Amino acid sequence: MKAVIPSGEIPRCSSRHFYLRLLPVLILLAWGIYAMLLVWIKGLNQTNMNNTYGFALWIWADLAIIALGGGAFFTGLLTYFFGKTELRSIINFAVLVGVICYSSALLILALDVGQPLRFWFIYWHANVHSMLTEVAFCLTVYFVILNIEYLPALMEHPKLQQIPFFKNLGRNTHAVMGLFAGIGVFLSFFHQGSLGGMTGVLYGRPFAYREGLLIWPWTFFLFTWSAAAAGPCFTLLLARLTEMVSGKKLVPGVVKDLLAKISGWMIITYIVAKTADTIFWATNTAPKAGFVWTRFYTESPLYHGYWILVAEILICGFIPGLILISKRGRHHKRLCWIAVLLVICGVCLNRWSLIMQTVAMPVLPFEKWVFYLPSWQEIATTLIPVSLGIIIIALSYRHLKLFPQEKELN
């Protein structure tokens, strides 16, 4: 087909070239879909999960993806409520990333349950005391909102612009975007938190359990916070990658700098809080359950050793944080991007240890540590978000005005 160029003037590569470059990604997607069908038809025996590893790779992927998708709500918050209007040049993209992340998260959740056809029980027979219920409710609603937020960008498409109804729809939606963004932010605070709460409330699992405020364990707030910190970094990273692939400048440096700076401050403050939380947990919470905190890290040092703590808090926390808040750090191109990457790794690592170490760690004194390697089906399906993301971004970039300033920047 003939590539439809947004508002005419910006050149795009030929369809042939475009799809040829997309081919490997499509293959990756196909592999994932095959594995997905296997899991749905044959059941969860296709995975390497077991009665000890009830939560594994998939849940981790969910937590990580949603944290990284946090860029959408946080950028929205900054744009519409803290008047950082310059961010408008990246908000569309942030929202798109959000859409991708959340849709993949929902897909993986649908894979992870033993009876996918009963998914709606979670609304129908909701147990409001369960963090997972909170997650499910917010997630679905927020997903709708994300799509609405993405509507204007979609309506920018020339073909749709020709149709008055959609032209107006786009404009009007944009007009009340503040409202939607508002709800979105509100919901995000909750479901990001609830994801943290999921492990925090497990008072039967001394590694995960945290005291907290009212019904919310500290991890509730830490998760929201870290998502707000890592989300923008992820948006930045993807924008950068898009620039590299398209070979065009898409986002003005000042915007990147601003976003990097903000998430820098977020990560620093977050990691300080996280450190405080860890210390309190190690000295108060864990001992109450009869655990010397070192036990969590010394009994299977290879897989669940101190290195996790060091990597998460120091290498992926303070270091990138300091880099990003310092002007010099941000302006040193390579250093800046390394920092962005570290932040992303940090938040993923945090989710990883909170899920994996929690279940691998025996609570009964006479039980053993359990190890787990994901099956290829799990890996393939976990890669769906990647391939899907690339494809959606590519298509959107090709056919929509994803980056409003693309024209003047080139």
Partner 1 sequence: MGLGASAGLTLSPLPWKLLDDLSIWTQNWPWVPIPKDGKETYQQSVCTLCPGGCGITVRKIDERVVAVAGREDFPINQGRLCPLGLSGPQLLYTPVRVMSPMLKVDKGYRQISWERAMSLLTSKLRDLRADGQPEKLACLADSDQGTTPGLLKRFLTAFGSPNFFQTVSADDAWEVLTEKLSGAQFIPGYDLEETDYVMSLGCGLVEGWGSPLRTMRAHSLWKERGTQLVQIESRLSGTSAAADRWIAVKPGTEADLALGICRVLVENGIENSQPFREILRSRYATEQVAKKTGVSPSIIESLADDFKHAKRPLALCGGGQGRSPVASREFIAATVLNILAGNIDQPGGVYRNKKYDYLKWPQTELDTRARNGLKQGRLNASPEDLFQTIADSQTSPIEMLLVSGVNPCYSCLDTENVIQAVQKIPFVVSFSSYWDETAVNADLVLPNHSHLERYQDVAVYGGLTEPKMGLSVPVSRQLFDTSYTGDVVLGAAKTLGGTISNSFPWKNYETCLKSTLSGQWQALLKQGFISLPQPGRTPDKGSLRLRLPKIDAKEIQLEGNIKEYPLILISKSSMRLSSGAAGSPPFMIKAVEDTVLKKNMGLVDIHPQTAGKMGLGEDETALLTTPRGAAEVMIHLDEGTMPGMVVISQGLGHTAYGAYLADKGVNFNQLMGPVKDPLTGQNTAWGINAKLSKV
Partner 2 sequence: MEKTDGKSYQKFGMVIDLDKCTGCGSCMVACMSENNISFRPDETDKLRSISWMRVYKLSNQKPFPQTDLCYLPMPCMHCEGADSGHSPCISVCPVTATDYDKSTGIVSQIYTRCFGCRYCMVACPYQARYFNWWDPVWPKGMEKMLNPDVSPRMRGVVEKCSFCYHRLQSARDKAHLQGRPEIPEQSYQTACAQACPAGAITFGDLKNANHSISSLVKPDFNQGGKSKNPKVFRLLEKLDTKPSLYYSSSKQWVRDMSDNKLREEKPQPTITMQNSRERRN
Partner 3 sequence: MFPTVFEWIWDMGHVIFMSIFWLVIIVLLIGIVTVLWKTAIDTNREAIESGDEWSETSARGRNPF
Q: Which of 25, 33, 126, 409 binds partner 2 (CB under 8 A)?
A: 126
161 scored as a contact of partner 3 (CB under 8 A): no
Q: Is the distance from CB of 257 to CB of 84 less than 8 angstroms?
A: no
Q: Are strands 212-213 and 216-217 parallel, antiparallel or unpaired?
A: antiparallel
Binding mask 96-125 for partner 2 (x = CB under 8 A): ----------------xxxxx-xx-xx-xx
Tokens of 108: 């993986």
| Cβ-contact 184, 149 below 8 angstroms | yes
Q: How many residues does the chain have?
A: 410
Minimum CB distance to partner 2, residue 31 (Å): 23
Structure tokens at 398: 């090709």
Q: Which amino acid is at 134?
A: E
Name the E strands within 337-402. none
What is the longest distance spanned by two Cα atoms in the chain? 70
C-alpha to C-alpha distance for 31 and 27, rounded to whole angstroms? 6
Among 16, 83, 115, 334, binds partner 1 (CB under 8 A): 115
Neighbours of 369 (CB within 10 A): 13
Q: Does 359 bind partner 2 (CB under 8 A)?
A: yes
Query: CB of residue 120 vs partner 1: minimum separation in angstroms?
Result: 6
Binding mask 35-54 for partner 2 (x = CB under 8 A): --------xxx---xxxxxx
Rg (CA), the chain: 22
The item of partner 2, partner 1, partner 3, none sharing an interface with residue 1, based on CB under 5 to 8 Å by kind, is none
Q: Give the relative orientation of helices 88-112 and 15-42 as an angle to the nearest 10 degrees.
A: 30
**Least distance to partner 3 from the beta carbon of 135, Å?**
13
Choice from 2, 9, 51, 120 touching partner 1 (CB under 8 A): 120
User: What is the Cβ-side half-sphere exposure of residue 219, based on CA atoms within 13 angstroms?
Assistant: 25
CB atoms within 10 A of CB 40: 14
**Dist. CA 207–CA 323, nearest whole Å:** 31
Residue 385 near residue 104, CB atoms below 8 Å: yes
With CB under 8 A as the contact rule, the residue among 17, 21, 118, 331 that binds partner 1 is 118
List the interface residues with partner 3, window 114-133 (CB under 8 A). Answer: 123-129
Among 37, 310, 363, 395, binds partner 2 (CB under 8 A): 363
Instruction: Please state the closest distance from residue 367 (CB atom) to partner 2, in A.
Output: 7
Q: Work out which of 12, 88, 174, 205 binds partner 2, going by CB under 8 A.
A: 205
Which helix (DSSP H) or strand (DSSP E) does residue 171 occupy? helix 164-175
- Segment contacting partner 3 (CB under 8 A): 182-190, 306-314, 330-338, 341-349? 182-190
Task: Rule CB under 8 A: choose which of 112, 134, 149, 277 binds partner 3.
Answer: 134
Partner whose footprint covers residue 366, from partner 3, partner 1, partner 2, none (CB < 5 to 8 Å by kind): partner 2
Contact residues for partner 2 (CB under 8 A)?
43-45, 49-55, 112-116, 118-119, 121-122, 124-127, 129-133, 136, 198, 201-206, 287-292, 358-359, 363-367, 370
Which residues in this chain contact partner 3 in the complex, by CB under 8 A? 123-129, 134, 137, 141, 144-145, 148, 163-166, 168-169, 172-173, 176, 179-180, 183, 186-187
